[in-house]
Structure 1
Amino acid sequence: MKGGQRDVTLRFLAEPSDVNFGGKVHGGAVMKWIDLAAYACSAGWSAKYCITAYAGGIRFVAPIQVGNLVEVSAKVIYTGRSSMHIAIDVQASDPKLLERRLTTHCIVIMVAVDEDGKSTPIPKWIPQTPEDIELRDSAIKLMNMRKEIGEEMEAHVKYLK
């Protein structure tokens, strides 16, 4: 596989088996679709097997109905040595109308690994447009915020042991 594909869109039809107790698509089903799109995107960019290292900032902004056509769009917005920050947008529509609306968005961090499960280098992504630069800068800000939150969480973890 050559690699270097920066984005991907996966499509799903929301099925009755995806429903929660409230009659809408279960958040867990949406998270599974997000993980699948993040994998397809990161593998397409790196041409390597990738694992999920982090999924955060998941915002469920509108419900998805059974029978909706769901589009999960994933795009590389930052790369490290072996990691890729993937921006995810989930949109849904009635397949007869195709008037898509944003339902969910988040950031997923994927890491390329070798046959032994060790992180392995990937191609660097270099932003080309003002929008890409803004997305990269946002990913860096979020990365720094996650580090601070992680340090704060250490205090909680030691009391749970």
Structure 2
Amino acid sequence: MTTPAKATREITLRFLAEPGDVNFGGKVHGGAVMRWIDQAGYACAVSWSGHYCVTVYVGGIRFLHPILIGYLVEVNARLIHTGRTSMHIAITVRAGDPREGGLTETTRCTMVFVAVSSTGAPALVHKWVPATAEDVALENYALKQMELRQAMEAALVPPAG
């Protein structure tokens, strides 16, 4: 399968954290951060595949630092592995006070999306090939996560009967 002319491997969303995103503790609600992560991951997956995509997995989400209202937020989504119909996307959220400059990593995770055809069936995606040592390391990370996820799922299957 050939790569579409407009395929994009990486996307970054930037915006300000708004008062509607606040939790009871006065910080941005984790659910708002997860919504932003899903939006950036979706945009990246669609840009790469050229198809509507669905989220099939979000894993390893790690909240490192709080985000305050008024902070500039940057959500980066980068393709790190492709399967036949799936795409593994690494998401990094960074935020900081725009008056002070500089952003701090606040959240990170990995997502898996599946491309879907107009009939609702999984759609083939073009293969991504790592080009740098960093790309190879990221793909190896995605593959290791996939192995761990499969082992956990197998271990948690209830006994038949």
Q: Is the shorter-chain TM-score for this pair beyond 0.5, marking a shared fold?
A: yes
SS in 2 for 1:110: strand
Residues 3-152 of structure 1 mapped to structure 2, 5 A cutoff = 3-152=6-155
**TM-aligned CA deviation for residue 3 of structure 1:** 3.7
Asked if the contact 1:3–1:46 (Cα under 8 Å) also holds between the matched residues in 2, the reply is no
SS in 2 for 1:155: coil
**TM-aligned CA deviation for residue 2 of structure 1:** 4.0
Aligned partner letter, 2:77: A
SS in 2 for 1:138: helix
Asked if the contact 1:62–1:102 (Cα under 8 Å) also holds between the matched residues in 2, the reply is yes
**TM-aligned CA deviation for residue 11 of structure 1:** 1.2
Q: CA RMSD in A?
A: 1.6
Long gaps (5+) in structure 1: none
Which aligned runs of 4 or more in structure 1 are off by greater than 4 angstroms?
A: none
1:23-75 alpha-carbon deviations (Å, 9 max, x no partner) = 11000000000000001100111111111010110000000001111000000
Long gaps (5+) in structure 2: none
% same residue: 52
**TM-aligned CA deviation for residue 152 of structure 1:** 1.9
For 1:45 and 1:70, locate their aligned partners in 2 and report how far apart those are by CA, in whole Å: 23
| Normalised TM-score (structure 1) | 0.94
For 2:103 and 2:119, locate their aligned partners in 1 and report how far apart those are by CA, in whole Å: 41
Provide the aligned length of Structure 1 versus Structure 2: 158
Q: Going by fraction, where is helix more abundant, 1 or 2? A: 1
SS in 2 for 1:71: strand
